[in-house]
Structure 1
């Protein structure tokens, strides 16, 4: 489903667009002028539904050259192995932060908090991570070319310690993962690597970007006024108010 002339959404579950598995985050496709990249992989449950969405947007699987992961949680990275098999004509390049890459390559269900989430009923009992190689490590303040577009890697710990966002200056677009959502909401969870102090610093850093379009990991994307949720979240922190949460 096209959201702008350069960005579409091809995945999203119960907390998103309802296009694919209930357990998927929003999966975005970025058009770099005929070179396509996905932002996040979803859970890997029913990955064929994501391919249906790509086809509906006129994108052949072999034209997707790059998969960028934001962090290791299963709803965002669990589908990496399945997409590697199905996209890019067998040559899909997967990029991720170093800590995320370690989780994905080893299918570490403790580090990704999947084991705890599954025990709590968030995921089906039968769901397991599949290990997947990662081809490229991305680092905060680095950049990645997607055709004629640029993505800046922005460190975004808080929701998880390994998370990054991707910012496209040409589009003034922030692929925000689980950092911030419509209405200034955050993703506050009870996991060992969650840090409210880090979250506060992340929101301050995102507020320094010129964001016109916000593409969050769940909920609705904002194609105008994308900086407003970031400003709202920053104001709550500055007033020492408890954050609003999507969970």
Structure 2
């Protein structure tokens, strides 16, 4: 099994989990680059998982469904009405199996009220959409600070060797913000050098291990709702 990273739009990522002769797509805000990659690599997409309803994660669904009409689209059950192409609704915290892969649908409200992250134990990977980023978390559009705090706690409970595949390339900006809060944090200073080198070479900073994030991501380190609220407010103004 292989996970492919497809850059789309300005800074989004779509992911393709290739399993034998089939593939699962995670989020798609722009179909063109995804279809091109599928054609070039002779991939047979069978399913799409949608973390949430925002356009930069679902606007490519129509073109993909037209191109691959047998492909099944899965989305948060409570957001089906906002993702009309969805074939199946996913319940919060349920576990499903697609092409023999176990997928745990972790309820992570905050960025949106019904946001789901997809944890694949066999691949030691979580697709975190806009709930959790490297060194950051998603801006609150529908949820509140309590939602955000408890979503971070849920994700922290995953094994440290879990690799995080998030929805955007925000790591450099998040690192700059984190250093504005903790300018002498040696882990963050080291991380910034790594991130700058990767981006200078046109490489993604994703995936990143949860273990690393638990030592550097200020939002995962926040130990109270009040602390995470303070950080989120600072990040929104940064």
Q: TM-score, normalised by structure 1?
A: 0.72
Aligned residues of 1:10 and 1:54 also touching (Cα < 8 A): no
109, 117, 120: which one pairs with 1:168?
Answer: 120
Aligned to 1:194: 143
Q: 1:212 offset after TM fit, Å?
A: 2.3
Please, what is the CA RMSD of the aligned residues? 2.2
Q: Which has the higher strand share?
A: 2
- The 1:143–1:163 alpha-carbon spacing in structure 2 relative to 1, beyond 3 Å, is same
176, 196, 205: which one pairs with 2:154?
Answer: 205
Q: Which has the higher helix share?
A: 2
Aligned residues of 1:38 and 1:67 also touching (Cα < 8 A): yes
Aligned residues of 2:48 and 2:71 also touching (Cα < 8 A): yes
Determine helix, strand or coil for the equivalent of 1:242.
Answer: helix
Aligned to 2:72: 93
Unaligned runs of 5+ residues in structure 1 are 16-24, 106-131
Q: 1:146 offset after TM fit, Å?
A: 3.0
8, 13, 28: which one pairs with 2:9?
Answer: 13
1:198-237 aligned within 5 A: 198-210=147-159, 211-219=161-169, 220=204, 222-230=206-214, 232=217, 233-237=219-223
Deviations 1:114-168 (A, max 9, x none): xxxxxxxxxxxxxxxxxx2x21111122222232321110001001101100001
Aligned residues of 1:10 and 1:50 also touching (Cα < 8 A): yes
2:193 corresponds to 1:242? no
42, 48, 68: which one pairs with 1:59?
Answer: 42
Structure 1 stretches of at least 4 aligned residues deviating more than 6 Å after TM superposition? none
Distance in structure 1 (CA, Å) of the matches to 2:164 and 2:2 = 13
Aligned to 2:26: 39
Determine helix, strand or coil for the equivalent of 2:131.
Answer: coil
Aligned residues of 2:134 and 2:208 also touching (Cα < 8 A): no
Unaligned runs of 5+ residues in structure 2 are 170-203
Q: TM-score, normalised by structure 2?
A: 0.74
- The 1:245–1:86 alpha-carbon spacing in structure 2 relative to 1, beyond 3 Å, is farther
2:92 corresponds to 1:140? yes
Aligned residues of 1:176 and 1:216 also touching (Cα < 8 A): yes
- The 1:26–1:222 alpha-carbon spacing in structure 2 relative to 1, beyond 3 Å, is closer
Determine helix, strand or coil for the equivalent of 1:201.
Answer: helix
How many pairs align? 196
Indicate the structure (1 or 2) with the bigger Cα radius of gyration: 2
Distance in structure 1 (CA, Å) of the matches to 2:208 and 2:82 = 34
